[in-house]
Amino acid sequence: MLSALDRRHTVAPPGYSRWLIPPAALAIHLCIGQVYATSVYKNSLIAHFDTGQTAIGVIFSIAIVMLGLSAAVAGTWVEANGPRKAMFVSACFWAAGFLVGALGIASKQLWLLYLGYGVLGGIGLGIGYISPVSTLIKWFPDRPGLATGLAIMGFGGGAMVASPLSRQLLSFYDSGYDPSNSGSTASGSALVWLFVTLGIGYFVVMMFGVVNVRVPAADWRPAGFDPARVAAKPLVTTANVSAANAVRTRSFWLLWVVLFCNVTAGIGILEQASPMIQDFFREGGTSAVSVAAAGGFVGLLSLFNMAGRFVWSSTSDVIGRKPIYVVYLGVGMVLYLLLALVGQTATALFVLLACVILSFYGGGFATVPAYLRDLFGTFEVGAIHGRLLTAWSAAGVAGPLIVNAFLDAQGEPGTLTAAAYRPALFTMVGVLAVGLVANLLIRPVPQRFHEPAAGRDEVADGQPVAAERSGS
């Protein structure tokens, strides 16, 4: 049965619509994006296990670290076995993570929650995140930014689906739980049923992706597409570089720095969004922004984070990958400066600046697969993407560390004002400047790293076939 999942059995027949691939990818990313909605039941888990913030918060950290590690380690396996098997394995790990986690909650064994949601779920996250990327790039050689932007937009959208859904499910399973009251916590049995429901529900939705995903035949090209025209753009190669060789190139590590800097800066705001808007408009110890309004601000940031993934990544197909990162990083520096210097003058200005910054954060995630395609070709772009995602794991630690370290030095939470954020925001301007310089230093990959003609061929139906290219 599992052989039906192999790459050679998933080659699309003639006439297969490539527009079935983005919803297949979205089915995966909308589910695994749930990882950013764990805060919804965090307090309930703390109460159930009678433990502290850190003991529960570490579940999320384990999952994100496992995301980076599994994407890096399993990237080559994903390339070799194809998107259908990768999506299926991802769905199994992701669902198993919830079910083992539910067992941990039911038996009050916290380590089972770490093992389930953190380790197993984290592996599902990493494999699921990269599973559709190279397939989308191969189906949309004419618009790779749009295709990967659509899929990775789903990851941002996943949290927007999971947050309200989890609140409503907890209310359904525990009538005493009031999601509008931040002090209310759900019972252990409600948490167990939430995890079971999410595990089964996500598995079913992810199967939509498994059933619909196909790889294009090796000689397939979209109607009217001329690879030579794409290759004529600066930095875009028609050659192919293996994942093993890619990590030996300067461009790979420069792009690693670019992603790390962009994510570090964005995640700093994202992690601190709710208290930040209240602190910026605090006078005489009282904030003009209510807790509910701050929650609305976080929701607005989620929308811009998601929209930026699609809009900016699609724009990169028109203006090019390097220029769009100049925008993310260069304009981002200006926006951070404005936020630090004049952000406290008006709520609307503060919200506008933060929303555009978060759209750049999302855009940075969504554009990077297309940037990798431009630099290294399509041969093992999924595996290279997996290795690059270690920058995300590192930034996930660095961003909050930088912001929290500066804020801790400025005073107690609830007493901070806009001035307390300036050192952290100025530091982020510096971080973005480093990323900007790294982006400007990116050059085409030297020919010595290119695969020879036989090596860059792709395998379909078990036979080597000519890769999708037009000479050079």
In sequence order, what are the beta bridge partners of 459? 464
Of 117-125, 286-294, 399-407, 428-436, the segment contacting other proteins by CB under 8 A is: 286-294
Given the complex with other proteins, which of 84 and 321 has the nearer CB atom? 84
Given the complex with other proteins, which of 2 and 348 has the nearer CB atom? 348
Considering only residues 222 to 281 of the shown chain, the ones binding other proteins according to CB under 8 A are: 222-224
Given the complex with other proteins, which of 142 and 187 has the nearer CB atom? 142
Residue 171 contacts other proteins per CB under 8 A = no
Residue 346 contacts other proteins per CB under 8 A = no
Residues 121-137 as b/e (b if ≥16 CB within 10 A, e otherwise) read bbbbbbbbbbbbbbbbb
Residues 6+ apart with CB under 8 A from 96: 116, 120, 121, 124, 199
Q: Token pair for residue 76?
A: 């080559």
From the CB of 224, what's the least distance to other proteins, in Å?
7
CA–CA distances in Å: residue 393 to residues 63, 70, 253, 339, 389: 10, 11, 15, 26, 7
Residue 180 contacts other proteins per CB under 8 A = no
Residues 6+ apart with CB under 8 A from 290: none
Answer for which of 4, 51, 107, 164 binds other proteins (CB under 8 A) is: 164
At 95 the three-state DSSP class reads: helix
DSSP code for 178: -
At 115 the three-state DSSP class reads: helix
Q: Single out the residue of 438, 352, 347, 392 nearest to residue 125, CA to CA.
A: 392
Of 9-17, 66-74, 242-250, 378-386, the segment contacting other proteins by CB under 8 A is: 9-17
Residue 326 contacts other proteins per CB under 8 A = no
From the CB of 15, what's the least distance to other proteins, in Å?
5
CA distance 32 to 217: 28
Answer for which of 161, 257, 331, 394 binds other proteins (CB under 8 A) is: 161
Residue 292 contacts other proteins per CB under 8 A = yes
Plot region of 176 (φ>0 → left; ψ -120 to 50 → alpha; else → beta): alpha
Residue 286 contacts other proteins per CB under 8 A = no
- The single-letter code of the amino acid at 24 is A
Answer for which of 160, 196, 267, 436 binds other proteins (CB under 8 A) is: 160
Binding mask 389-428 for other proteins (x = CB under 8 A): ----------------------------------------
CA 171 to chain centre: 29
Residue 303 contacts other proteins per CB under 8 A = yes
Question: Which residues would be at the binding site for other proteins (CB under 8 A)?
Answer: 15-20, 23-24, 26-27, 30, 154, 157-158, 160-161, 163-165, 205, 208, 212, 222-224, 290, 292-300, 302-303, 351
